[in-house]
Every structure is written in C-alpha cells, then in structure tokens.
Amino acid sequence: MLKAHIKRGDDVVVIAGSHKGKEGKILEILPAKYRARVEGVAMVKRHLKKTQESPQGSISEREGSVHISNLMLKSVHDASKRAKTEVVAS
C-alpha cells in the first residue's frame, strides 16, 4: 500500500524533472506506479478514433503522470529555503 505525503486535491509544486517549477492540483493518485496526475502538468496528446459524436476524429490533450518523489506540497515549498532562492535567482 502506498503511503504518500500528498493526496488528491492538494496543491503541489514539481521540484524535479522536465516540468520543474510548475504548480497544480492533484487530480488522481496512481498507487501501483507511485505516480500522480497534476492539473496542467505533463500534458500529453491522445488521438481519438472517428465516432458519431466526432466524425473527423480528434486529438485531445490531457494530463500525464509525474512520479510522487518529484512533487512537494505548495505550502511546504513556500516555507522552505528552496522557494526563496528561486526568487533571488530570477
């Protein structure tokens, strides 16, 4: 069973990886893979077949998953030295 420091609905910051610095809300936790879907982070495109609703087919964009170890609660991040050094560096 996954014991994570985050849960669905929490505001988080990505602290590592290609999406470092992005913020969002947890939409879903994937416990089997130790990953989470974060609103507006790691967007992937999904090609959909032709259907009666969309006779042309379509390309939809949705959130991919980010490993839980790359996420930190926004409240903890704002209180840490990490957030203060990023402001000075900018």
pTM of the model: 0.78
The CA-to-CA distance between both ends of the chain, in Å, stands at 40
Helix (H) / strand (E) element for 44: namely strand 43-48
Q: Tokens at residue 5, please?
A: 């420091």
**Residue 83 or 59, more confident:** 59
pLDDT digits (tens, 9 = 90+) for 48-67: 999 998 899 999 999 999 99
| pLDDT range class, residue 88, cuts 50, 70, 90 | low
Q: Where are the domains of the chain?
A: 11-89
User: How is domain 11-89 classified at the CATH fold level?
Assistant: SH3 type barrels. (2.30.30)
Backbone angles phi, psi at 80, to 5 degrees: -90, 170
Residue-wise pLDDT for 2-50, tens only, equals: 778 999 999 999 999 999 999 999 999 999 999 999 999 999 999 999 9
